Amino acid sequence: MATITYTVTVASGTNAFSASNPKFLINGDVSPVLYLQEGNTYIFDQADSTCTGYLVAFSTTTNGTFTTGGLKYTTGVTETGTPGTAGAKTTIVVAPVRTVGAPLLFYYDGGGVGTSGMGNSAQTIAPTSQTTEFNPQIDDIIQEAFERTGVRGTQTGYMLRSARRSLNIMFQEWGNRGVHLWKVKLAKIPLVLGQAEYSYASDSENFPIDMSTMLEAFYRNNSTPATPSDIALTQISRSAYSATPNKLAKGTPSQYYVQRKLNPSIFLYTTPSASVSSTSTPSSYQFCFYYLAKIEDVGAYNYTSDVVNRFYPCMMSGLAYYLSLKFSPDMSQELERRYESELLRALDADNQGTSTFISPQTFYGDGV
């Protein structure tokens, strides 16, 4: 659990009690409502000279001992030093919820003389998990999907294998739906003198084996590492590439053609000349491209998925829809609607936001 320190000073101010008497200022705010999380430790630093004669104390009664029947709350509270001097502080360790929990508290002046109306409430709240790492395992995903189809209880081995297969098929479907930013990767392939075709077969060390779709490409001159230079390449169609008269002509590459087969190949035009190839220094001249990688296959049931959290809802909904086609056909239509809705939201959240620039239209002469 956390330790939080507040700096306490005293000055005139307005709160629910009055508009004139001295008030506790917590980090500069006049008698704010405090929220103390159960299990945390809070230190109220009262070393400032304005705190002389005053003391931050706690009670379960509004305004503490200034209210008839009010008592000082002492559970987990430690008072150190003399307010107004170095090291003076009131420390409270708020009772954790897993034991007895803490009541609603109020802070007030519990000093020697005591001044009424200096504080406010100190509301105790249950702790949060302090984690943001929810990543369901494959068996949890399958269980959730089956429950959405109305199939509860223990699934047979066949049903589990069927669910894994459906999940893999759905991931392939996602590859046809558009760009998923978390699967965008950058490849850097050394340019080879006179070589037109680049593929995993020709360069298994640098060419990606997990490429699904190529996005954009550029030629990088990295001969001067401190000032690399990138030049965008233009993608051309198969027919345009076929029409090039000399596919082995040498020069600086400006175009490329993607041969989309099981293991894709990329053809450069023109092929690299001696001045832009990496024969001696592989990192000097590179063919670079961004690509959409394939989503990894579903592994063992105690593994997690290769999916980011913004896609969790549609992954659950999508698998439920796929399973309903086999196990609950009467629910397929509704589950498909939910899946498509969740997927649209996920794809919208997965878009890469860019700035929008609006240029005014200028008219000359008679407005033409």
Per-residue pLDDT, averaged over 194-202, amounts to 94
Q: Which residues contact 278 (CB under 8 A, 6 or more apart)?
A: 190, 191, 192, 284, 285, 286
- Give residue 149's pLDDT: 95
The dihedral of CA 327, 333, 337, 340: what is its sign? positive
The HSE-up count of residue 333 (CA atoms within 13 Å, CB side) is 1
Q: Tell me: the pLDDT tens digits for 317-361?
A: 999 999 999 999 999 999 999 999 999 999 888 876 655 555 555
% pLDDT > 70, the chain = 92
Tokens of 33: 């409502």
* pLDDT at site 367: 47
- Helices H, strands E: what count in the chain? 5, 20
Interatomic CA distance for residues 202 and 268, integer angstroms = 14
What local confidence, expressed as pLDDT, does residue 199 receive?
Answer: 95
Q: What is the mean pLDDT of residues 91-108?
A: 82
Judged against a pLDDT cut of 90, whether residue 256 lies above it is answered with yes
Mean pLDDT of 23-39: 94
For residue 63, is it left (φ>0), alpha (ψ between -120 and 50) or beta? left
Over range 41-54, report the average pLDDT: 97
Q: What is the pLDDT of residue 275?
A: 82
Q: What percent of the chain has pLDDT over 90?
A: 69
Q: Where does the pLDDT of residue 113 fall: very low under 50, low under 70, confident under 90, or very high at 90 and above? A: confident
| Mean pLDDT, range 103-123, rounded to an integer | 91
Average pLDDT of the chain is 89
User: How far, in Å, are 137, 141, 313 from residue 338 at the CA level?
Assistant: 22, 16, 10
Least confident of 17-26, 123-132, 250-259: 123-132
Sort strands 89-93 and 77-80 into parallel, antiparallel or unpaired: antiparallel
Q: How far is CA 156 from CA 140, 151, 162, 272, 320, in A?
A: 15, 11, 10, 57, 16
Banded pLDDT at 180 (limits 50, 70, 90): confident
Write down the residue that tokens 């209880």 correspond to. 153
Q: Which residues contact 341 (CB under 8 A, 6 or more apart)?
A: 317
Work out the average pLDDT over 355-368: 54
Q: What confidence score (pLDDT) does residue 179 get?
A: 61
Which domains, and CATH codes, for the chain?
3-125 (2.60.40.420), 138-178+296-349 (no CATH), 181-293 (no CATH)
Q: Model confidence over 64-85: pLDDT tens digits?
A: 999 999 999 999 999 999 999 9
Q: Which residue has the higher pLDDT, 143 or 98?
A: 143
Q: Would you state the pLDDT for residue 315?
A: 95
Supply the DSSP symbol for 127.
P
Per-residue pLDDT of 263-303, as tens digits, reads 899 999 999 998 887 665 656 899 999 999 999 999 888 88
